[in-house]
Amino acid sequence: MHEAAKRFSELPTTQRKAACLRLCEHALHVWEKSFPEDRTVSYQETVAGSIQTLDLELPRDALAAANAGADTASVASRYREPLVALQDEDVVLPKDAEFAYYAIHNAFERYALGRDIGEWIIVNQALSTAPDAIGLLTDVLREAG
């Protein structure tokens, strides 16, 4: 196990949460860089054949809900369709954006909805968006205390 991973696992619960959310802030930056405000992403559902538009604000809203510890804007229901579309490959995202999407979703599930999502899954997904994952984790751990 890398030293930074070991340090993360030894953090108290509140500091691990803070580190996960900080990593998700980085992931959100990657997401928003991939999809500027003036961009629309549409896809066709395989099953129903309907055209859907990906909610590009959803990761920002989900991270806000995770930080608040509550589903502040009915984020959970907004995730249903796009998660299925990603799994069915109806919509294909750049890999770093996809990892950002899943990291933020999993942080939302854990911290807003109280689901049993492993924190290391969130960390790994968020770090997959960074060219220097160990450097990012080290910086976040330094900030977390």
**pLDDT tens across 41-83, in order?**
999 988 888 999 999 999 999 999 999 999 877 899 999 999 9
Question: SS3 of 52, please?
Answer: strand
Q: Output the pLDDT for position 38.
A: 82
- CA 41, distance to chain mean position in Å, is 18
pLDDT of residue 3: 87
Question: Quick check: is 57 in a domain?
Answer: yes
How many domains, in total, are found in the chain?
Answer: 1
Q: Supply the range of the domain harboring residue 114.
A: 21-35+44-144
Beta carbons within 8 Å of 114's beta carbon, 6+ residues apart: none
pTM (predicted TM-score): 0.94
Q: Is residue 11 part of a domain?
A: no
Q: Does residue 1 lie within any of the structural domains?
A: no
Q: Residue 102 domain-assigned?
A: yes
Quote the CA–CA distance of 136 and 22 in Å, as a whole number: 10
Residues 30-34: contacts with CB under 8 Å, at least 24 apart: 30/96, 30/97, 30/100, 30/129, 30/130, 31/59, 31/97, 31/100, 31/101, 31/104, 32/59, 32/60, 34/93, 34/94, 34/96, 34/97, 34/100
Q: For the chain, what is the total number of helices (H) and then of strands (E)?
A: 7, 2
In a domain, 8, yes or no: no
Q: Is residue 13 part of a domain?
A: no
* Domain-located, residue 7: no
Give me the residues paired with residue 19 across strands.
none
Asked if residue 75 is part of any domain, the answer here is yes
pLDDT class of 1 with cuts at 50, 70, 90: low
Write out the DSSP string of 85-106: HHHTTSS---HHHHHHHHHHHH
